[in-house]
Chains A and B, each alone.
Chain A
């Protein structure tokens, strides 16, 4: 575990040094202007297909390429990961099996197993009488089949979605998204997605994930989650990073 953490840190340190050096080189040629524009996406609207959406009234034919949905009380048909019964003082408070139909127009459907750690408080807004919306728990680990959700799926106004390499955990490449509040690892045929309130939290969790037994129901109570040591993560299956892995 220590070496995994070390690998992650060393890899990220090297990347940051490289980034800093590159920025220093560019510093004299107006990089401030570029950085100022980094947040303003200059991409023009994409008009790559007809405005009348052919999939408006029904699910896409792509649904046939997806895995069948499995019920919560049966093993999922892809490898799932958790942080065990608790992590860093946060107990596992909810386990979810989410699988929806692919809806017309959507690129990716929800198909995952989630373990949620810790709790959050829902309160009416200041001065308000009624609750209006939910709250995000401190930590969540989602496992998706990588044939349905992969690094290749993300775009933002037609451009690659911003992400930052976070090195490897075991043999699984890791990437940070969304200002460090989301970390994804690509191991075997699973995309592991970790949501947390800080980069430190999600990186710590990344090094502590463990595989749940293949024959265990997708939704387990905390007491039945794996208490084994963190699992050495496998390299991504061929084609999974590029979105070419077929569901089977």
Chain B
């Protein structure tokens, strides 16, 4: 009997240690891949989200009862007038509720076509969110079409702000004008990105929080 009890105690202890180890592992994984909690803080240019393939900083979070990706895309179109859906595919680590997953964007909206200089945002639904607290993340920016690349380059850093800052400011103004509550935080994701025209572009690290509580414009 004492031996059996010791075995049961041993199994319980092992289960607790395993539980704690699993928790530690999960917590580490969540922090390792989801710096922003709801998502990673940079997008990726290829599936699988390899660490050496960052492309854009995440700089906007839409949240609220109607902040699902399709509605956010519609709201961007309504308030900012960005109605074009062209652009390359990107990926982002997002919170699934049971961990993190590298997911392809759900929608994108731009103020011009693939051969235009334009404002552009890609949108990712955050699967872990729902109910009152739906969330969609975005990477707003302004990009110029550079004929000799050929392709898009995000506007370089300068006294008037980089293309990442300009895109975030444009979203901010459009949604304020549309009557949405908008707030800002500082996330600090200010890494520089080399662009195809030879310039450098970085976000100034601010993150925009946009409330979305309705479906119509």
B27, B37, B172: the one contacting A41 at CB < 8 Å is: B37
B188 contacts A133, C-beta separation under 8 Å: no
Identity of the chain B residue whose Cβ is nearest the Cβ of A25 in the assembled complex? B20
Count the A-B residue pairs with Cβ separation under 8 angstroms: how many?
268
| Chain A residues closer than 8 Å to B169, beta-carbon distance | 103-105
A26, A44, A45, A96: the one contacting B20 at CB < 8 Å is: A26
| Chain A residues closer than 8 Å to B37, beta-carbon distance | 38-41, 156-157, 162
Would you list which residues of chain B between 191 and 206 have a CB under 8 Å from chain A? 191-196, 200-202, 204-206
Contact (A110, B97) CB under 8 Å given A38-B27, A134-B193, A198-B51:
no
B61, B159, B186: the one contacting A99 at CB < 8 Å is: B159
- A158 vs B16: C-alpha distance when bound (angstroms): 33
B180 contacts A51, C-beta separation under 8 Å: yes
A157 contacts B185, C-beta separation under 8 Å: yes
Identity of the chain B residue whose Cβ is nearest the Cβ of A112 in the assembled complex? B190
Number of B interface residues, CB 8 Å?
93
Q: Is there a chain A Cβ closer than 8 Å to B80's Cβ?
A: no
Would you list which residues of chain A between 38 and 54 have a CB under 8 Å from chain B? 38-42, 44-49, 51-53
B150 contacts A130, C-beta separation under 8 Å: yes
Would you list which residues of chain B between 25 and 84 have a CB under 8 Å from chain A? 26-27, 30-38, 41-42, 45-46, 51-56, 61, 63-64
A107 contacts B184, C-beta separation under 8 Å: yes
- A238 vs B204: C-alpha distance when bound (angstroms): 25
Q: What 9 pairs between A and B have smallest CB-CB spacing?
A: A27-B20, A131-B151, A134-B193, A130-B151, A178-B35, A51-B181, A132-B88, A40-B128, A110-B204
Given contacts A116-B192, A131-B150, 17 further A-B contacts (CB under 8 A): A24-B16, A27-B20, A36-B26, A39-B30, A39-B38, A39-B100, A44-B133, A96-B200, A103-B161, A103-B169, A110-B161, A122-B194, A130-B149, A135-B55, A154-B187, A157-B61, A162-B37
